[in-house]
């Protein structure tokens, strides 16, 4: 965290070196562009690229009932993942609105990682904790 509550990505200095201009989103200073969009697209199509997702929330969910808990919050597909697989899923609040969009990945055995939208970690954690014991 820097400058009065504004977060920077883990690779912020790399983005600066590559000529990024930045914009604020959900309390994070994120690369907005690296210049000409057509040139960016051409490079994306012809070179290796890295995505800096360090602004995402990250939660580790593990235990015998982890799949059941994830299924309750993110839907059946998230709870039935095979090892090494991932799914994009939405967590809905009590009113049916999207509370978080996350990538849920089964990392092995009874362990999963949930990578959600910036700033949504506490709300998603509360939903997961609320689902413990429901199954």
Give me the residue label for tokens 């799949």: 67
Domains of the chain and any CATH numbers: 7-46 (no CATH), 57-131 (3.30.70.1400)
Question: What's the N-to-C CA distance of the chain in angstroms?
Answer: 38
86-106 per-position pLDDT tens digit:
999 999 998 999 999 999 999
Q: How many CB atoms lie within 10 A of CB 37?
A: 9
pTM beyond cutoff 0.85: no
Radius of gyration of the chain (CA): 18
* pLDDT at 111 > cutoff 80: yes
DSSP state string for 22-39: EEEETTEEEEEE-S-HHH
């Amino acid at each position: 965290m820097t400058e009065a509550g504004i977060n920077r990505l883990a690779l912020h200095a790399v983005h600066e070196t590559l000529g990024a201009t930045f914009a604020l989103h959900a309390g994070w200073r994120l690369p907005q562009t690296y210049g000409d969009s057509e040139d960016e697209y051409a490079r994306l199509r012809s070179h290796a690229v890295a995505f800096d997702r360090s602004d995402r929330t990250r939660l580790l969910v593990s235990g015998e009932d982890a799949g059941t808990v994830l299924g309750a919050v993110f839907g059946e597909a998230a709870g039935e993942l095979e090892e090494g697989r991932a799914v994009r899923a939405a967590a809905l609040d009590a009113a049916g609105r999207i509370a978080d969009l996350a990538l849920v990945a089964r990392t092995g055995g009874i362990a999963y990682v949930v990578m959600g939208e910036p700033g949504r970690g506490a709300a998603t954690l509360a939903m997961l904790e609320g689902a413990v014991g429901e199954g």
